[in-house]
Amino acid sequence: MAPDLPAAGAEKSASPSSQTPTTLPETKTRPTLTPFDRLKLEFNDDLECVSVELKEKDTRKILKAKENRKQYLPGQPRIRLNEDARNVKADENPLLKYLKQCHNTDGLDELLPYMRYIFVQTPSYTHIMPLHHQKSHAREIRVTESPGLHLVWYYELIFIKPIPAYFYSQAFWEYLENADEKLYQACLGFMRSYYMLIQYNLDFELACNLRLIPAKSDGNMPSYEEWCEFIEPFAVVGDDHVNRRYHYGELRLTRINRAAMLFKFSLAYFHIYPQWGSFLEHTLAPIITVFAVCSVVLNSMQVSLAVMEIKLEDNKPLGGAWSKFMEASLYFPVVVMVSIAVILVSAVVGMGFMGLKDLFRGNSVRRRKKRGDPSAGTRTHGMVW
């Protein structure tokens, strides 16, 4: 359940030395491509979005630092601002290159159309457990700056990308919307995922401890009430206005790797352990298991044949307990083989049933989403997690 969000005009308590967050007006001053129009609360006002004239009747929006402020992208001193953008092509803009590297999920977007065939969970961005609940599944949270690993999990690990400080600036969002629509959608989807990750005060405290949330421009951390007001505008963004990756919530790395191998002919999408030994260990484990089962079955068959051969000999048959032991040796291997067959068939049928049920349910949710059904995909996860 999402937290109760404070009213836009709620009073914020702050120390005398702290900077009061900027509450932005709610009136629309420009057309917007998405339901997200502007931040309700701005934690960083070091930037400004201005129009520069390139040629006659040709202008471009650029991002600049205000005077007497740090002349770089907030939180990233390696990206300098205020350089002359008139003679720089849009695809050669160092700021835009950096933002694409940090937030685009092209590799994952290319794989997602194929993942319905390997029983990936239903496409719903609500399939994100809050931070405190990740520990209920014995998951360790790994902080990463790789956009393609955000909310990707692998057994007891889940990767989460932190929020950059420049996302606190309204000028940044205005610049990004005009600079690159695809990148803008990726950033909107990323921020929408945090609306699901942080649903309680406990989640907010965990996010602060893990440094998933940056400090405000004055160096102080936002309060939970301020955070709720800041993140609220991203909650209304629908799937039509985010990139394909953020139509989904958490994704399982093993299935992404399998899709990369089957459809992109790549060894993996991402190697947790980038060594041949670890790769072969995980790849060969199912094959070795099959050989082990076959070995048990063959040994059982060999025992039964050996007992039958002894019984067919013309020698005097054994009496007493040995006769009963021979009978047991004849039929027990058969029981073992039948048991193995029943277990294997049950496992295959059960997994196939659960997988097909999730597959049909996922396709049903996709159809309902196309019809505009707001209740599509509200379950937390399918049968095959």
Residue 12 has pLDDT above 90, yes or no: no
CB under 8 Å to 226, separation ≥6 — which residues?
12, 21, 41, 43
- Joined together, the tokens standing for residue 378 give 């509200």
The per-residue pLDDT for range 210-237, each reduced to its tens digit, is 999 999 999 999 999 999 999 999 998 9
pLDDT surpassing 80 at residue 261:
yes
Contact 150, 103 (CB under 8 A): no
Lowest mean pLDDT among 43-57, 92-106, 170-184, 358-372: 358-372
Query: By mean pLDDT, which of 3-7, 148-152, 231-235 is the weakest?
Result: 3-7
Q: Which two tokens stand for residue 129?
A: 């457990």
pLDDT computed for residue 90 by the predictor: 53
The pLDDT, as a whole number, for residue 292 is 84
For the ranges 191-205, 252-266, 311-325, 354-368, the lowest mean pLDDT is seen at 311-325
pLDDT score recorded for residue 68: 87
Residue-wise pLDDT for 240-257, tens only, equals: 899 999 998 999 998 898
Task: Specify the higher pLDDT residue, 363 or 106.
Answer: 106
More confident residue, 90 or 147: 147
**DSSP H or E segment with residue 264:** none
| CA–CA separation, 255 and 269 (whole Å) | 10
Cα 346 → chain centroid? 31
Give tens-digit pLDDT for 22-57. Answer: 666 554 444 444 567 788 899 999 999 988 876 666
The domain spans of the chain are 22-263, 276-370
Name residue 355's amino acid: G
pLDDT confidence bin for 175, thresholds 50/70/90: very high
Q: Which of 168-177, 267-276, 293-302, 360-369 has the lowest mean pLDDT?
A: 360-369
Between β-strands 152-154 and 251-252, what pairing exists: parallel, antiparallel or unpaired?
parallel
pTM: 0.72
SS3 385: coil
Residue 93: is its pLDDT beyond 80? yes
